[in-house]
Amino acid sequence: MLRMKRRDFLRTSSLTGAGVIAANRAWALNRLEPLEDTLGEEYPYRDWEDLYRREFTWDKIGKSAHCINCVGNCAFNVYVKDGIVLREEQLAAYPQIAPDVPDPNPRGCQKGSIHSAAMYEGDRLRYPLKRVGERGEGKWQRMSWEEITTEIADKIIDIYETYGPGKLMTHTGSGNLSMVRFAAPYRFASLVGGVQLDIFTDVGDLNTGAHLAYGNPLESFTSDAWFDADYIMMSLFNPNATRIPDAHYIWEAKWNGARVVSVAPDYNPSSIHADLWISVKPGTDPFLAMSFVNVIIAEELYKPGFMKEQTDLPVLVRADTGRLLREADIVDGGSDQVFYHWDLVSGAAVPIKGSMGSDEKTIALAGVDPALEGTFEVGGLPVTTVFEKVKTEAARYSPEDTADVTGVAPETVRQEARAFARARKAILMHGFNIGRYSNGIYTGWAQALMLGLTGHGGKAGGIDTSWIDWNHPKWLELALFGFRKLPRLEPGGMGEFVRGHMIDHARAHYDPAKLKERVGFDLDELQEMIDESVGQGWMPYHGEMKGLISIADNKFRRNKFADKYRARILEEVSELFVDINVRMDSTAQWADYLLPAASHYEAWDLRTVGYHRFMNVFSKPVDPIGEARPDWDIMVLLTQKIQERAIARSITSYEDGAVTRDFHTIHDDYTMGGMLMTDYDATKWLVDNSPEIGGVSLEEGAERGFFVMTAEAGANQPLPPDEPYNPFVAQTEGKKPYDTLTGRITFFCDHPTFVRLGATVPTARLNAGPEASSYPLSFYSPHTRWGIHSNWRSNKFMMRLQRGEPNIYINPRLAARKGIADGSKVRIFNGAGEFFAQAKFYPSLPETSIMMEHGWEPHQYDQWKPMNNAMATLIQPLELAGGWGHLGFKLFKWNANQLAHESGVDVEPV
Ligand SMILES: Nc1nc2c(c(=O)[nH]1)N[C@H]1C(S)=C(S)[C@@H](COP(=O)(O)OP(=O)(O)OC[C@H]3O[C@@H](n4cnc5c(=O)[nH]c(N)nc54)[C@H](O)[C@@H]3O)O[C@H]1N2
Ligand SMILES: Nc1nc2c(c(=O)[nH]1)N[C@H]1C(S)=C(S)[C@@H](COP(=O)(O)OP(=O)(O)OC[C@H]3O[C@@H](n4cnc5c(=O)[nH]c(N)nc54)[C@H](O)[C@@H]3O)O[C@H]1N2
Ligand code: SF4
Ligand SMILES: [Mo]
């Protein structure tokens, strides 16, 4: 063989292949003649090629995106033949909005591109199912839609009859982020008064530091607005894996001259392309941010003009009480939402405009020159400025003082602080990961201070929170009756923590004294602050439930202390557990009733969640598989049965606090008197009535695949048609007040919880970390490139790109110390629980950390023990603050996150 020519070898080996295929036929190998010219005239049989040609034929091309929680929002062509989806391809037809801004094409990722295979896999739910064995036993019986929804309707009514309103949770998770799919269960929950947790905090994605500073964590950049930045710092963010269709704007900005810095403990897939990787120790970002603040102040790199107008830094603070100087302090009957500047022009205190208590809705200074520094006397009271307080605090965090904690060299901090401060447009990008650290609020707040000091706001930069809250008034009407009727909303992280009795499990993991030393409170104090928050009405909590309707939510995979949490919830929802899902996920497995939903390509819908200006259209390229139905239609049927059964059982309505829950008209109310009977009706209603779509018809949109949203889509300010969207331009250019207590970017908070925890100005705290327990390794779980959470995790194409089973990442030196080989099985454990996984060597991880991508389904693990078994958690009490200006329960904007990275673990070979 060695003496054969390469060409001869290839010919022989392909013959061998043909021989294997032909072996069980009556052919003899010697009848196959080698061909010299496979494309030539004499080639005898070419009909087989038609198979491949026909692969590229189809009956129709539909349009779709993916409705799950990936923030990509990419339009796809969906190729259909004989009612089956053959494949999908990126549409790549978005217009370039301006000649000097790169276009957004092509959008997509490998997950979206294999859904045509995944949608027909064995875990798809095809029929309505009722449990016949014990919960979780896996024994099911098929039922008709009529029967199953009638049975569920009766059980819902039973719960109301026996226990009254407020005992049914109808929670929609984050698997449903398209407009109609998302509106359906919210509309249902609004009508029945079901409990709905805030999904942002339920999953741990809320950027509470951004809300604290700016009064709106969802006012951010379209990704194309990254392109003209000249300084980008990514913290807790890995866009190359988790913002696949948008990441190119970062690297194009780099090409365009931007300096790109990645702050991460591991050399992650985005760090490798950055100009600088700052390898911070896990959980120490607030110290790093405060060291930047320290340098900016010490080297006077700040911009007084911006500070005076846009921030509360010149607002007066009482030197005696340490509280903001309020009108009520110096004027009888004065407001507690009116504050003061010390005006250098008149040499006197003047009330500021634009605060929540001010009648003037502007922050324009109009002749006032507020002092940033100094001490003064107002009405006999000694006062100083917020900036003075900030300076005192920042002085404690010099780069030299913080270097031990962060592991970052002082010179690196000084160099970057200067480059950042001098940049024209600086963007501090936060991954959603910021919300999953107990000190994420400190990181966000301190980074906002870096920006506030250096004048990076509006078109000159800001925080990128990966989400824009577009203005969709008709969608709010559909989902929440324009806020006239609401579900029983509840803070996500806090709701899960309390209902899941997680504090008991936390006690088994944390050492109280060490915890207090790290985060500033122990678990008893945390309980006290939770009770205070609920007692004061700062955060709502609705108590024990009797029934649960769970929609597009994989709660038993997602929640921490996983197995204990599941046992607790199943015990609580003793009367009813319905799961509405496209797949037999780890939550569906435990339900009493399973209602199969139509997935991405099987229903009409629209989507804008993401950060571009395009509203993608789902044109229902194929019918739902099996007997699955669109989420909207499932709720249509369920309300129909509730109405029928209520009337048959002579029930009209339930008084529920200030509102009435009308069960005898619930179907008519849900469908707007029979107008919105299908997913198509609801989609069309949105398109026909939404100003931000600009009068284009659904037919045109479905043909094109997307709508380009008009100026009305901007919630804070109009969306410019030919420019990227930058946040808070209405404030920087139009002098509109921020939605904060003082009307300005906020760096002082005298809420009692902030006072109690010593956090009245931006400062630094540690997270719990391994040091708060007796388990030595830090443990964090970023998001995977090969799935969107649990979606597509078991798809064969995705599995082939990785190790094919749950794996942890471990530094080879740590592995060597522990006697662990690459590819071997290990046990990860702590005071919360344990799980088993394959070890994958990963030299770019600190030796003191274990990393594992989140999202594997529990049933993919040995003994079905999931990673979240070994995730201990707590909540951040600052995020429970209320009754203080912009702090108070606000859906998707302010309440406490569920935290993911507060555990210590240990690892051993198995
Ligand atoms: N492919 C894919 N894309 C997704 C998702 C998915 O599951 N798969 N999920 C979507 C959703 S809902 C979310 S929330 C996002 C999540 O995606 P991201 O917002 O990017 O957040 P993570 O992946 O959790 O973590 C990002 C990085 O944080 C770094 N990190 C960890 N600890 C620290 C720390 O202490 N300090 C610093 N500075 N960095 C740290 C790690 O390098 C990690 O890679 O992704 C979205 N996009
Ligand atoms: N340890 C750890 N835990 C984490 C995280 C972490 O980083 N570490 N990250 C957290 C974060 S940021 C997030 S966002 C969560 C996400 O975690 P989950 O809330 O578990 O999210 P998914 O896996 O997307 O689950 C959504 C479910 O919706 C279903 N679904 C999809 N499409 C449809 C549809 O059209 N209709 C219906 N009815 N159902 C549908 C899918 O089957 C899927 O199982 O996990 C959180 N948990
Ligand atoms: S899964 Fe998300 S990022 Fe991937 S193609 Fe679909 S919409 Fe785009
Ligand atoms: Mo998330």
- CB of residue 71 inside a 6 A radius of ligand 3: no
Question: DSSP H helical segments within 706-811, as ranges?
Answer: 729-732, 752-756, 796-800
Q: What is the pLDDT of residue 29?
A: 54
Q: Which atom of ligand 3 is nearest to the CA of 107?
A: 8
Rounded distance, CA 636 to CA 615, Å?
Answer: 25
DSSP 316: E
Cα 21–Cα 27–Cα 29 angle in degrees, nearest 5: 75
Low-confidence ranges of the chain (pLDDT < 70): 1-44
Rounded distance, CA 230 to CA 423, Å?
Answer: 6
Rounded distance, CA 58 to CA 401, Å?
Answer: 66
- CB of residue 828 inside a 6 A radius of ligand 1: no
Rounded distance, CA 747 to CA 302, Å?
Answer: 15
- CB of residue 70 inside a 6 A radius of ligand 3: yes
- CB of residue 383 inside a 6 A radius of ligand 3: no
| Terminal C-alpha separation, the chain | 45
Q: Are 770 and 778 in contact (CB under 8 A)?
A: yes
Rounded distance, CA 168 to CA 487, Å?
Answer: 11
Q: DSSP letters along 167-236, please?
A: -EEEEE-SS--SHHHHHHHHHHHHHHT-EEE-HHHHHT---HHHHHHHS-TT----GGGGTT-SEEEEES
Q: What is the pLDDT of residue 21?
A: 42
Please report the domains of the chain, with CATH numbers, ordered by start residue.
6-55 (no CATH), 60-114 (2.20.25.90), 208-301+405-464 (3.40.228.10), 770-909 (2.40.40.20)
- CB of residue 582 inside a 6 A radius of ligand 2: yes
Distance 235 CA to ligand 4 centre (A): 16
Q: DSSP letters along 109-173, please?
A: -TTGGGHHHHTTSTTB--S-EEE-SSTTS--EEE--HHHHHHHHHHHHHHHHHHH-TT-EEEEE-
Distance 176 CA to ligand 2 centre (A): 9
The ligand placed nearest to the CA atom of residue 783 is 1
- CB of residue 109 inside a 6 A radius of ligand 3: yes
- Map tokens 């790199």 to a residue: 301
Distance 616 CA to ligand 3 centre (A): 12
Residue nearest to atom 40 of ligand 2 (CA): 552
Distance 173 CA to ligand 2 centre (A): 7
Q: What is the pLDDT of residue 850?
A: 98
Q: Are 635 and 210 in contact (CB under 8 A)?
A: no
Is 285 in a helix, a strand, or coil? helix
- Alpha-carbon dihedral sign for residues 48, 53, 57, 63: positive
Residue nearest to atom 3 of ligand 1 (CA): 242
Report which of 584, 579, 627 is spatially closest to residue 602, judged by C-alpha positions: 627
Backbone φ and ψ of 348, nearest 5°: -145, 165
Q: What is the pLDDT of residue 564?
A: 97
pLDDT in tens, 366-407: 999 999 999 999 999 999 999 999 999 999 999 999 999 999
pLDDT in tens, 178-212: 999 999 999 999 999 999 999 999 999 999 999 99
Q: What is the pLDDT of residue 24?
A: 44
- CB of residue 739 inside a 6 A radius of ligand 1: no
Residue nearest to atom 43 of ligand 1 (CA): 782
- CB of residue 433 inside a 6 A radius of ligand 1: yes
| pTM, 2 dp | 0.95
H/E run at residue 562: helix 562-572
Q: What is the pLDDT of residue 32?
A: 62
Query: To 10 degrees, what angle do helices 523-535 and 492-499 make?
Result: 120
Distance 185 CA to ligand 3 centre (A): 23
- CB of residue 558 inside a 6 A radius of ligand 2: yes
Rounded distance, CA 666 to CA 654, Å?
Answer: 12
The burial of 711, by beta-carbon neighbours within 10 Å (0-12 exposed, 13-18 middle, 19 or more buried), is given as middle
Q: Are 195 and 545 in contact (CB under 8 A)?
A: yes
Is 608 in a helix, a strand, or coil? coil
Cα 178–Cα 203–Cα 217 angle in degrees, nearest 5: 75
Distance 554 CA to ligand 2 centre (A): 5
Q: What is the pLDDT of residue 17?
A: 40
